[in-house]
Structure 1
Amino acid sequence: MAVLPLRKLGDPVLRTPAAPVGALDARISELVTAMYETMDAAGGIGLAAPQIGVGLRIFTYDAMGSRGAVINPELVSVGPIGPTPRDADHPAEEENLLREGCLSVGGVYSPVDRAQRVVLTGTAPDGAALRIAAEGLLAACFQHETDHLDGRLFIDRLTGEDRRRAMRTLRETAAPSPPTGVGAGSSFFAAPPAAPHSGPRR
């Protein structure tokens, strides 16, 4: 499976809430494989399906020694809100704050207020039910990716000087044109996916 083009800021698919996944068929398995390969090739710790132009509620992740894919994810519990520290022993130090970036938003890195602990539920590609407790970087990753599935980007959560700095960086950076051809829209699939049934949604 080839590495697929990444959608960039300005592409409407990144602002469109993704649809729940219905049947876990071979196309979903192929999509997850492509997402892993694309995430790894880009050096990311997470990738949501809309970032490769597929409007389905799936993301892959690889952070803090934990790697997997979650279908129809839902955050069912969240802990205290605040910037994510790199080192939990020194959470209040500005230089210790994790600065989020995004494969779809080039050049912008900033602390983001996130829940420090979360519980995520969903379904694995093999159909197994998932319930994952996460904290720190992994919790931030789960929230970042579920935001993608709701049509939201991490820059939307920035305020004050962090937001002004991000907007300035974006103005100074030429936005790439959305890709066309293979990987564009839902063209990952040979045919449009079947209408999804209702499922967990965030």
Structure 2
Amino acid sequence: MNPLFISIEGPEGAGKSTILEALLPILSVKRSVVATREPGGVRIAEDIRGIILDPKNTVLDGKTEILLFAAARRVHLLEKVLPALAEGKVVIADRFIDSSVAYQGFAGGVDVEQVKWLNDFATDSLKPDLTIFFDITPEEGLKRVMKNNEREKNRLDLAKLDYHKKVYEGYQALLKTDSDRIVAIDASKSPEEVLDQIINVLYTRFPGEFL
């Protein structure tokens, strides 16, 4: 079996974590699947995640964020992603490089080309084989976040709507420039319908890999 690296992206409240939890048992019937997240996935990266998302850390600007994300991404890649791919596994990451472009670039005000360069430096230019974008408007996503009492509200959740609109615009720009890699699914649908969309994308893009 071929190693596969798949990332899932989307605005806050898109439902990525919920769908990933439902998706794993389906894909694991035939393949060995490693699910992970960014920032995080390994101890050092999880420590950095705590710094980035802590609501008390209001002084972090876009450049500080992108440097922290890049450091977390590098150690995560070396300790978890690359070893799994070397073993021929499927790695599914909840967020990867596109998040940095959308959040710290388009919304955070850091030059997008610099964000891309730094990510290429941190990842040795590794790109996912497929990125699934959970397409949902910022308004609907934030409405879900505020309704979910079980979710701890992080620093990015509490940003103003205008910030999240810029994030969404960033993702839309990425969809246009990297349409071969990034596929959008309608995340406003029910969890069951979203899951069906993703399974259809995976089975179409990688025939025979999961069936």
TM-score by length of 2: 0.27
> Which is bigger in relative contact order (C-alpha 8 A, separation at least 6)?
2
Which structure carries more strand by proportion?
1
TM-score by length of 1: 0.28
